[in-house]
């Protein structure tokens, strides 16, 4: 199952140890790590993404759920690379883009206090035991949440609502007096532009999701091939 994972530690050393343990589990075949980073929370309330050039196999944060989660946990100030990427992506990062519940964010932020560190990762795991065992041994507090389709449902409902407004306005436009038509037409044009923008954003998200799914499939395929090759070498 694909999940977002956040493990909170009391020190940077422990956080890096936790990150390395995740990658070891990936090498051993216990889990698949698609993207990962270490986040530091400072005493002044700002956050910094450490080692920002190491995002894992998925690569760029643009348009990814992982990038959205980094943006949410990092906050608006001091995020460093994560904030820059978020700005390039355009707009505010929200929970819907991360495809996880706001209760998950609340639980994590309560634990991720000043001078603490977190390993943030998007992973695939069949069992929670391997990760929990490794992280708890290091002193990490584990939070995980399966990715959902919530953002797609909310988007569809939003577009449907705007289309309903548009249909009503067009009906009113056909019946209204001439002095009202111009102003109503301007509103109609603005709403139609918003709908088209939403549809374009949905298209971009679908394309991004398809690219991510393809990248994940290639990662799993490569791991399976490597395990087969290792098994054959052992047999020989």
Taking all residues of the chain, what is their mean pLDDT, rounded to a whole number? 75
pTM above 0.85, yes or no: no
Higher-pLDDT residue of 194 and 156 is: 194
Above 90 in pLDDT, residue 160?
A: no
Higher-pLDDT residue of 154 and 136 is: 136
Task: Calculate what percentage of the chain has a pLDDT beyond 70.
Answer: 73
pLDDT tier, 98 (very low <50, low <70, confident <90, very high otherwise): low
Q: Is 203 exposed, middle or buried (0-12, 13-18, 19+ CB in 10 A)?
A: exposed
Cα–Cα distance for residue pair 86/143, rounded to 1 Å: 23
Above 70 in pLDDT, residue 52?
A: no
> Picking from 15-19, 122-126, 210-214, which range would have the lowest pLDDT averaged per residue?
210-214
**Residues 216-235, mean pLDDT to the nearest whole number:** 74
pLDDT tier, 85 (very low <50, low <70, confident <90, very high otherwise): very low
């Amino acid at each position: 199952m694909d999940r977002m994972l956040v493990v909170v530690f009391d020190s940077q050393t422990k956080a890096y140890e936790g990150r390395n343990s995740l990658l070891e589990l990936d090498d051993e075949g216990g889990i698949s790590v698609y993207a990962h980073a270490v986040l530091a929370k400072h005493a002044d309330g700002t956050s910094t993404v450490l080692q920002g050039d190491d995002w894992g196999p998925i690569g760029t944060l643009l348009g990814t759920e992982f990038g959205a989660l980094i943006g949410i946990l990092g906050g608006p100030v001091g995020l460093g690379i994560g904030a820059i990427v978020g700005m390039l992506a355009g707009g505010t990062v929200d929970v819907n883009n991360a495809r996880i519940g706001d209760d998950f964010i609340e639980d994590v932020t309560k634990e991720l206090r000043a001078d603490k560190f977190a390993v943030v990762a998007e992973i695939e795991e069949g069992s929670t035991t391997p990760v929990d065992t490794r992280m708890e041994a290091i002193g990490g507090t584990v939070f995980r949440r399966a990715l959902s389709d919530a953002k797609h449902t909310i988007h569809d409902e939003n577009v449907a609502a705007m289309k309903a407004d548009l249909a009503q306005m067009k009906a009113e436009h056909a019946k209204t007096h001439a002095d009202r038509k111009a102003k109503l037409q301007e509103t109609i044009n603005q709403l139609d532009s918003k709908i088209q923008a939403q549809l374009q954003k949905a298209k971009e998200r679908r394309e991004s999701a398809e690219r991510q799914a393809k990248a994940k499939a290639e990662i799993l395929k490569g791991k399976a091939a490597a395990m087969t090759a290792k098994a054959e070498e052992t047999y020989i």
